[in-house]
Amino acid sequence: MASVLARSILLRQQTSAHRIGYTTPLKIKSCYISYAAAPKEKSPENYTRYHEVSAENWRFVERLIPPTFVPSYPKNGNYSSDWTPPADTPPNLPYFVKRTKNYMVPVYLKFEEVRNERKITIIRHIEGDIWVLEKAIKSHLESLSKRPVVSQVHEVAMHIKFRGDYVNEVKKWLLNAGF
């Protein structure tokens, strides 16, 4: 009602201006519609048709939706892959290496290729005495590779870096330790 009135006033002004021959300052034409004048929302049937196909087939959709959280692993022990679960009791050591969300061992390879390739093995999720862990792994890697291994211990971020690709060796060592 109000909008219709506003529009009519504007028109009257425009026509009067044209007759007299001078230009009135332009009014911003408001095209709002009031709540009372707006069409009200109807029930869904007026907008779209739908019909239920089947309720029991919803499980085919459900199983495609990824789960919110990572489900727990089966405890039976028959794993078709290389993966082994973490130990039920923590090993009696001054350090602990926690598994990731997906129950993987937290050893990663950082690979950079700037002129010469640069490979760094990173161990994350370390708790406890990080220096003792570093010493243990370093001596193991040096015995395997028969050459010195350069390492970095980051006490604040609690990670260890080894220069070189020792990912598989470190993972094996950690799994043997029970982490």
- Of residues 25, 39, 44, 66, which one binds other proteins by CB under 8 A? 66
* 167 is a site residue for other proteins (CB under 8 A): no
Is the Cα dihedral 174, 175, 178, 179 positive or negative?
positive
39/67 with CB nearer other proteins: 67
Q: Of residues 98-117, which lie at the interface with other proteins (CB under 8 A)? A: 101
- Of residues 93, 120, 158, 167, which one binds other proteins by CB under 8 A? 158
Residue 125's nearest CA partner among 84, 163, 154, 96 is: 96
Distance CA 96, CA 103 (A): 14
Tell me if 99 sits within 8 A of 109, measured CB to CB: no
- Of residues 44, 67, 74, 77, which one binds other proteins by CB under 8 A? 67
* 64 is a site residue for other proteins (CB under 8 A): no
Sheet holding 151-154, edge to edge: 107-114, 116-123, 159-163, 151-154
- Give me the 122-151 binding string for other proteins, x by CB under 8 A, dash otherwise: -----x------------------------
Distance CA 140, CA 62 (A): 47
Q: Compute the least distance from the CB of residue 69 to other proteins, in Å.
A: 5
Tell me if 122 sits within 8 A of 110, measured CB to CB: yes
* 92 is a site residue for other proteins (CB under 8 A): no
* Cα 123–Cα 80–Cα 69 angle in degrees, nearest 5: 60
164/178 with CB nearer other proteins: 178
Residues forming the site for other proteins (CB under 8 A): 66-70, 90, 96, 101, 127, 156-158
